[in-house]
Structures are given as structure tokens and as C-alpha cells.
Amino acid sequence: MTNPAIKVENLSKTFLTREGFWKRKTKKINAVDDLSLQVEQGELYGLLGPNGAGKTTTVKMLATLLLPTSGSVRIFDLDAVKDTTEIRRRIGFAFGGNRGLYGRLSARDNLRYFAELYALPPEVTRRRIPELLEMMGLSGRENDRVETYSSGMTQRLHLARALLHDPQLVFLDEPTVGIDPVGARELRQMIKDLIKRGKTILLTTHYMAEADELCDHIAIIDHGRIKAEGTPSRLKTLVKKESIIQAKVEQKNLPALKNIVTPLESRFPVNYVNENPFVLINITTPEPAPILDELLPLLSQHVLDSLEVRNQTLEDVYVAIIQDKAA
């Protein structure tokens, strides 16, 4: 039985801030509040939550960049407070955005510098840098100043930097933020490849589809606490099993639907979205079949422009959990 990559027990972090000018008051902010989680080796674990939920603070405590106020963090069974140097050799981290690199240096020089900070032997540095530049699709631009890079290239360079010393555990804090869809898809593929190579990854993201696609386990956190935790499929069972029927209709045909939709409004949530000249009608129901039976003839009569049914997504689950509407 191998040790878990991450074991967190009752972790809390309180920041002190001051407010007022003449009468200064110290205020406590509980960024992380009694959080516990465990990540097994080789797993991709997602932390989801709204802005200010405590995701980044949690990651920074795990990456030894912040000291916990209370609780314990063990990384590969090492204490994150006492064994910082050994842990830092075994982890890599990349935070989203354009910060965290020397813009006036090239990608190659940035990597060379960080290779020295991780005390990589010269022969390893000479092999790893071209390897990572190739893997991240930065070959050919490696000698350009980083300040000339696009957000996607910067993000890939962040990932290359985080992987430079071949860490066993990688923390990725919102890695696809600000990247175009093609770049984000490439980055997700790189993350999948890392898992295939046996890395353990802790990922924070706002994008539910990304978490659904990538993560083995997910924790949804809010106000520094875990609200729900489990595999994506298990999380989807936490909210009522409902389907969403979406009917697209031209505004002039809306009266023809009234007889069907109006009685439903007292039984299920129904909302209308105006997308001139169309109206989207969303009906959330546990029993879509009888409603579909009534609506399908209208589709063949061209009263309805389109009709779709979809199951709950992780995003629906997330919204329900954050708004405390989970079953």
C-alpha cells in the first residue's frame, strides 16, 4: 500500500487584515476552514469553487507557500511545515495568468534559471529543456522573449517550468484561464498525458466541463469548506435526477405552445430566454417523456424550431451545491 500523495486533515487558514484609518481594526478572514481531503498517487484531483472559495489558498498551503493556521498537511507522508525543502524537490506548481515568468528573458533562459533553482545537473538540464519545449509546442519560439508570447504559450511555459525537475506531484491552479478553446484543449490533452506518465495532479478550475473531462475525484469547496466530494459521476447523483427540455420557438408561434407549457409552470421550473426573434423555453423535469410526447408533434408541424433534452451536467450539480439545493 503506497502512501497517499496528499493527506490533509482539518486544515484551516486565517488571514488578518486591517481596516479603518484612525481607528484601525483587525479583522479575521477564514480563507480555509477545517478542510480534509486525500489524493492518491497517480490520481487527478479537482478542486472546484467560486472566486474566494479558498482553492488557491489551499493549493498554496499544500505547495508549502503558505503556513496553515491549524491542521496538518502531509505530502508523500512528509510534513508540509517542517519538511519544506524535501517536499519542494518533489512537487511542481503552476499558477494561471501571465505572471510568474521573467518577461525579458526567453523561454529557454527562464527554464535554465529555474533548473538551477532546482539544482538540476547540467546534463539533465540540457536534455529536459528541449524535451519540454517540444512537448509544450514551444520549439522554434524558445529564444523569443516571453513578453512576446500569447496567453496560451505563457501557460504552456508555466507547465514546462513546473515539470522541469520531473516532480511526482503537480499543482495546477486554473491552468486554462484566459486561453482560447483550441489552446485549452491542447493543454487538457497535456494534462491527460501527464497522468498517463504516472504523475499525481491537483487541479483547480472554474470550468466544469474541464473538471468533468479530466478529474478522477472532485471536491467542491465554498467559504473554505468542502461542500461535496467524490467522482464526477457520483457528484451528479447528489442532485435530483432531472432532465432539461429546451424548446426553441419563434415569438410569433409562442401562443401555440401556451396550452402545453402554462400548466407545467405550476409543477416544474420553467424559464423563458428571449433570443429575438426566438424564445428559448427551459423546462426542468424528472419525467421528460410525457412532455416530449406533447411537444414532438409541434416540431413536425414546424411550430417549434428545435427541441433538445439534456441530462444534468456537472455545472448543474455545482450550481445546486453552491446554492445549497443539492438533494
Residues 31 and 57: beta-carbon distance below 8 Å: yes
Residue 7 DSSP SS3: strand
Q: Is 103 in the site for another protein (CB under 8 A)?
A: yes
Q: Is 71 in the site for another protein (CB under 8 A)?
A: no
Q: Is 100 in the site for another protein (CB under 8 A)?
A: yes
- State the number of binding residues for another protein (CB under 8 A): 33
Q: Is 117 in the site for another protein (CB under 8 A)?
A: yes
Stretch near another protein under the rule CB under 8 A, chosen from 105-113, 214-222, 234-242, 291-299: 105-113
**Residue 305, CA atoms < 13 Å, CB-side half-sphere:** 14
Q: Is 204 in the site for another protein (CB under 8 A)?
A: no
Q: Is 273 in the site for another protein (CB under 8 A)?
A: no
The residue within the footprint of another protein, chosen from 7, 55, 74, 88 (CB under 8 A), is: 88
- Between CA 212 and CA 188 the distance in angstroms is 12
Question: Residue 50: enclosing H or E segment and its boundaries?
Answer: none
Q: Is 66 in the site for another protein (CB under 8 A)?
A: yes
The residue within the footprint of another protein, chosen from 45, 76, 114, 149 (CB under 8 A), is: 114
**Residue 103, CA atoms < 13 Å, CB-side half-sphere:** 8
Of the candidates 241, 238, 245, 172, the one whose C-alpha atom is nearest the C-alpha of residue 210 is 172
The residue within the footprint of another protein, chosen from 9, 77, 116, 294 (CB under 8 A), is: 116
Stretch near another protein under the rule CB under 8 A, chosen from 99-107, 135-143, 275-283, 316-324: 99-107
Q: Is 147 in the site for another protein (CB under 8 A)?
A: no
- Between CA 322 and CA 309 the distance in angstroms is 24
The residue within the footprint of another protein, chosen from 10, 27, 52, 89 (CB under 8 A), is: 89
Residues 207 and 239: beta-carbon distance below 8 Å: no
Q: Minimum CB separation from another protein for residue 118, in Å?
A: 6
Instruction: Measure Cα distances from 187 to 176, 308, 323, 326 in Å.
Output: 7, 31, 30, 31
Of the candidates 197, 130, 119, the one whose C-alpha atom is nearest the C-alpha of residue 165 is 119
Q: Minimum CB separation from another protein for residue 88, in Å?
A: 5
Q: Which residues bind another protein (CB under 8 A)?
A: 15-16, 57, 60, 63-67, 85, 88-89, 93, 95, 97, 99-105, 109, 112-114, 116-119, 121-122, 161
